[in-house]
Chain A
Amino acid sequence: RWAPPDQVLENVLESVLEFLTAARDRNAASLVCRSWYRAEAQTRRELFIGNCYAVSPRRAVERFGGVRAVVLKGKPRFADFSLVPHGWGANVSPWVAALGPAYPRLERICLKRMTVSDDELALIPKSFPLFKELSLVCCDGFTTRGLAVIAEGCRHLRVLDLTEDYFHEEESEVVDWISKFPECSTSLESLVFDCVSVPFNFEALEALVARSPALRRLRVNDHVSIEQLRRLMARAPHLTHLGTGSFRSEPGPGGALSVSELATSFAASRSLVCLSGFLDANAAYLPAIYQVCANLTSLNFSFAGLTDEEFIPVIRHCVNLRTLWVLDTVGDEGLRAVAETCSNLRELRVFPLDATEDSEGSVSDIGLQAISEGCRKLESILYFCQRMTNAAVIAMSENCPDLLVFRLCIMGRHRPDRITGAPMDEGFGAIVMNCKRLTRLSVSGLLTDKAFAYIGGHGKLIKTLSVAFAGNSDMSLQHVFEGCTRLQKLEVRDSPFGDKGLLSGLNYFYNMRFFWMNSCRLTVKGCGDVAQQMPNLVVEVMKENEGEMDTVDKLYLYRSLAGPREDAPSFVNIL
């Protein structure tokens, strides 16, 4: 069939562009010429919106015609730490309203830090008959009622992942959502609901697992006892990812489960590579998992306050571990055992049991040094501690040059090197100098402008930077803006930076997704100057007290094609 030459080219182009998946590549392709722009727009299958206010739903939907998956992110990350007042925004409703009519073939929705109501969840099965995957991370606003609608309405559901969502529901109002899944064999591959911490119908879950032959990932909440876990594992011997629930015995008529009985269950699960849960763990049962430890690539003990004595025998078996999340209760000794055993470790997160500034803290520079010596392939670390030294951080920078993510949280504010009393400038300086692939950095401890000079001077690939209680002057911000040419996300709190520092970023804000700044020394005038000079920037300002008129408590600015949003609450002032 004859087609005009440019139509042929466009068809060929579309076929070729199908193979491009990375958003960056697609963005680049779309800039070549109009024909490429059109072809790319028709073939983009995944729509990634890093800031739901950066573009209007209507505009996104008009440009991209063939979208099958949407990823939306809402609130700034500091919302996780109660720094964004309730009701700020990031409601998914305008998006769901636009996506429904535009993409009837939509299969996947991933939302992060957005408010999703049950009514909006109810729109999903209505609007998208082919819907397959729903992932909600750090979201809020929904209840079991919404989950019931998803379970019942989405007949082709493969993935229902609820991760670290804020879930509050009166137990008297809980709906039996598990029973609402189709009664025939389901296509479920992943069911994650450990954050939905209300009781549920266990028998219905057991039956659901039994009729879901494709199920490979199952993470249950803390209302599942070890006896119940065993029953689930028996129904799903091919699981690869298991969230173990409470990992505690709630003995029924048969009495409490013995460790060896539980061990038999784990031994039968030959495909397990990822274990998590342990939400209220009885450490006496840990030996039951020894048989699967050698196969594990990922282990999450971050809700189990294990002592080193309880933890070390387990970790000694985990020779192939690549990801480990623990609580600091395992201590420097526990981390030493990790270093000695897990030579393939890529990601480590050490969370604090007692997340206060003056807690005892059980891990220190000693643990960090040990990890750096044993886990040379480390790429990502998040480490909460009370005591740190530059020497340990420098050692990590030298031993683990492949680091992509370095997030160190010395919990006491402005705390210097515990041995020398010096600021932590040299440690973080070494990190940016030696870890040449670093893309994400969080700093803490006593830091002067020098640290930021290092960061700006060497952190050329840094995309995300988090700063708290650091720096001496606006020079710090200037160093960062001028030096970190790839910077996309900057979060700053409680640091002595003012309007001058803010203005030093004027030439860079359009290259960034957002800039957040709270409890610094900004004034309304300074923020207003920025808003005036940058028309495609939305400058949101929030104030705590009505009193001091000129100071700004919270600043959130972001590039946007949509202009000032219309759903801003009264405490947000858009300049």
Chain B
Amino acid sequence: MAAAMSYVHADVENLKATELRLGLPGVEESDKMPSPPSTPRAGTKRALAGEHREVEPKAAPPAAKAQVVGWPPVRSYRKSCFQQASSKTKEAAPAPVVVKQEEAAVAAAPPAAAAAGGSLYVKVSMDGAPYLRKIDLKMYKGYRELREALEAMFLGFSGDAGSVNPSDFAVTYEDKDGDLMLVGDVPFGMFMSTCKRMRIMKGSEARGLGSSKE
């Protein structure tokens, strides 16, 4: 029981190696995110998690049972709040020191930009990077500038800059409803107003999604 309670989501990577699955080789399950319920509101958003759910049953039936609508009976109002909470747990748990650094950085950072009321800081994480960054979305005029800035920021973690292959990365963000979205679909202004935090996905999850529209 203690082992179960101390289970940390960061260990998912290690567990995957020894996990027995029915999946086809080379196809990986998405990270353990609570699947968004089919809420009554009409949405034209292209939800990334939703895409995974559609793809999985065809290509790689997951070892777990398929999710059933409305079960467990938790109100969607709660579920979307928890998606934020659980992703925070994932970010925080593997590197508690990182959180403190980041908080200290925020406290110490010259507050001029924040006080001016004209900044929009969001956290940016990259899979495999030891710590997160924060960027001010208002500094960028559009997606191209944003992408360039991200590449500059995180290049160091992918080793040799020249070997970075754009299609190995997918830049995603979490919107105000807690859904994981692909960056680039909506007008930049709308993106700025709904983006709560960003995540750069690497590897097989990102393959094929990283090809940007620009």
Contacts and interface: CB of A to CB of B under 8 A. Distances in A.
Interface string A66-109: 00000000000011111111100000000000000000000000
B71 A195 contact: no
B152 interface: no
Interface stretch (B74-82, B127-135, B143-151, B163-171): B74-82
B74 A355 contact: yes
B73 A468 contact: yes
Contact of A468 (B42, B71, B114): B71
Contacts of A255: 107, 111
Interface string B150-183: 0000000000000000000000000011000000
Contacts of A366: 1
Contacts, number: 146
Given A172-B193, A251-B111, A82 B69 contact: yes
A87 to B, nearest CB: 8
B111 A252 contact: yes
B9 to A, nearest CB: 9
A37 interface: no
B78 to A, nearest CB: 6
B20 interface: no
A183 B35 CA distance: 45
Contacts of A493: 70-71
A517 B212 CA distance: 46
B51 to A, nearest CB: 18
Interface residues of A, number: 61
A468 B89 CA distance: 30
Contacts of A25: none
Interface stretch (A163-171, A470-478, A534-542): A163-171
**Which of A253, A303, A355 counts the most chain B CB atoms within 10 A?**
A355
B115 interface: yes
B176 A82 contact: no
Contacts of B42: 86
Given A80-B73, A364-B1, A357 B67 contact: yes
**Which of B82, B88, B177 counts the most chain A CB atoms within 10 A?**
B82
A352 B85 CA distance: 11
B106 interface: yes
Given A168-B41, A332-B5, A357-B64, A195 B77 contact: yes
Interface in B69-119: 69-79, 81-82, 84-86, 88-89, 103, 106-107, 111, 114-115
Contacts of A195: 77
Contacts of B81: 279, 303
21 contacts: A81-B73, A85-B40, A166-B41, A170-B190, A251-B106, A252-B115, A280-B84, A303-B78, A305-B89, A308-B5, A329-B89, A352-B72, A353-B86, A354-B34, A355-B82, A356-B72, A357-B68, A358-B65, A362-B4, A409-B73, A469-B71
Interface of B: 1, 4-5, 7, 32, 34-35, 37-42, 64-65, 67-79, 81-82, 84-86, 88-89, 103, 106-107, 111, 114-115, 176-177, 189-190, 193-194
Interface of A: 78-86, 138, 140, 164, 166, 168, 170-172, 195, 197, 249-253, 255-256, 279-280, 302-305, 308, 327, 329, 331-333, 351-362, 364, 366, 384, 409, 411, 413, 466, 468-469, 493-494
